[in-house]
Structure 1
Amino acid sequence: MSGWITAQWPAPTGVHALTTTRDGDGVSVAPFDRFNMGNCASPTGDDPQAVQVNRERLQVQAKLPSAPFWLKQVHGIEVVELQRMDQLNDLPTADAAFTREPNLVISIQTADCLPVLLTDRHGTVVGGAHAGWRSLAAGVIERTVEAMQVPASDLLVWLGPAAGPQHYEIGVDVFDAFVSQDWKAASAFKCSRDDHWYVDLYALARLRLATLGVRADQIHGGDLCTIADANRFYSHRRDQRTGRMASLIWRCA
């Protein structure tokens, strides 16, 4: 099996996007086996040297134009712009990034949260957001689109692997966080037991994008469940102590 899944969307020529799987040619051992991309600044418990080897192998095998730009993700809504290669030595606290520069690789790490990758139809700007339920409710998608300065009609979006609507059970706090803002969000929740629901992160992201003016035919992906597929995906909800996938996007010169 491949160490990554290539985004299936009509991205313009020169824009590339993928999500790694745990089944790549990595060196991490259980429970992080094998292709863990976990951020060394927020240790998952894996050997940092193993993570570094995995990242180096990904860069070579996926033929990335540069080392990925890693973020210190905190389930917030901060967005950073990547402008120079020397920024690759930094590790900003943010949950989204975008760039207009070619050959700079944005990376979003997840293990149930929703990776949202974006580009404009002309391939002049690319972005990625880490949309767990907290950051999704707080507006990380809206902040990312605003920062990219792309009209809604020009956006293309790919929703990567995340906790799926048949397995991601949540409580009142998550339900209220969305429905208190928009009653239409209730359609993304299915009652599982008293004061508990299965939540559809993909539907919530589509609703947020639709509110911005992004049409349904501009949004792709959203059909892979990290909890259900233990062979390919890490899942914090399923395993607690686990690794991380990386969703990458970049544009070539």
Structure 2
Amino acid sequence: MNPDWLIPDWPAPARVKAFVTTRTGGASSAPYAGLNLGDHVGDDPASVAQNRAFLRTALPAEPVWLQQVHGIRVLDADGDIASTEADASVTRRAERVCVVLTADCLPVLFCDVEGNVVAAAHAGWRGLLGGMLEATVAAMHLPGAGVMAWLGPAIGAQAFEVGDEVRDAFIAEQPAASAAFVAYRPGKWLADIHALARMRLQRIGVTRIYGGGACTYTEPARFYSYRRDGVTGRMASLIWLQRDG
């Protein structure tokens, strides 16, 4: 496995395996230079296919790739997959790999404390506000107290500029969210997407929350960032259950 890929720093059960790719390595050329795994961003399809083939060598099976739409649908990856238009997936099946693609939005990986179910969710501010994380936990069919979450690399609080309307929408739903916004210039705020995610999770009883320290915007050599570059690639956040024995 590429030594630069991130392994979640959480005390998950031994059956739970997860990592997050970076842009290091890969076959893509500028502006996608590196290990771009997004097949919807304008990169050469042959390069993306080569990158995904390389990723596959580190996995027990082909990931369940989603068509992400900034919504809150959670795909049951163990069922009859008629449509992959979703922003999260959940599985209880061994070696079924859940994956989300990001380049500033927040990837969140989930598992239960027993190691029987895992999920991966993609959440920008729209997904957070709409209830993406809450929907993912609900799809795990567990109380929040039995869930562990890891917040992956996303645009950091020092770079995520949003307007009054975004701040107002979060505060209207959860007044404590005001603490995640810092005044920047007239009508604009700097938002802490990791803090907003923690608040949303804690509200439904998820207190085992880890990660949240990596900023995609400020590390161009390591991470893709849509807000920074516009045309860019995507990283993958992946999680699965290892087969017993």
Alignment of 1:61-80 (within 5 A): 62=58, 64-80=59-75
Structure 1 counterpart of 2:201: 209
RMSD: 1.3
Q: C-alpha distance in 1, partners of 2:189/2:211? A: 23
Structure 1 counterpart of 2:167: 175
SS of the residue aligned with 1:150?
A: coil
Matched, 1:82 2:77: yes
Matched, 1:155 2:150: no
**Aligned amino acid, residue 65 of structure 2:** W
SS of the residue aligned with 1:247?
A: strand
TM-score normalized by structure 2? 0.96
Alignment of 1:71-220 (within 5 A): 71-83=66-78, 87=81, 92-215=84-207, 218-220=208-210
> Does the 8 A contact of 1:234 with 1:242 survive in 2?
yes
**Aligned amino acid, residue 49 of structure 2:** Q
TM-superposed deviation, 1:47: 0.6
Q: C-alpha distance in 2, partners of 1:74/1:3? A: 28
Among all aligned residue pairs of Structure 1 and Structure 2, give the percentage whose two residues are the same amino acid: 49
> Does the 8 A contact of 1:2 with 1:23 survive in 2?
no
Note the alpha carbon deviations across 1:152-194, whole angstroms, 9 max, x for none. 1111110000000011111122112211111110100000011
Q: C-alpha distance in 2, partners of 1:107/1:167? A: 25
1:91 and 1:68, CA in 2 relative to 1: closer, same or farther beyond 3 A? farther
Structure 1 counterpart of 2:219: 229
> Does the 8 A contact of 1:78 with 1:95 survive in 2?
yes
Note the alpha carbon deviations across 1:98-124, whole angstroms, 9 max, x for none. 000010111110000000100001110
TM-superposed deviation, 1:2: 2.8
**Aligned amino acid, residue 236 of structure 1:** Y
Bigger mean CA offset, 170-179 vs 120-129 = 170-179
**Aligned amino acid, residue 23 of structure 1:** T
**Aligned amino acid, residue 205 of structure 2:** G
Gaps of 5+ in 2: none
Structure 2 counterpart of 1:30: 30
TM-score normalized by structure 1? 0.93
How many residues are treated as equivalent by the alignment? 242
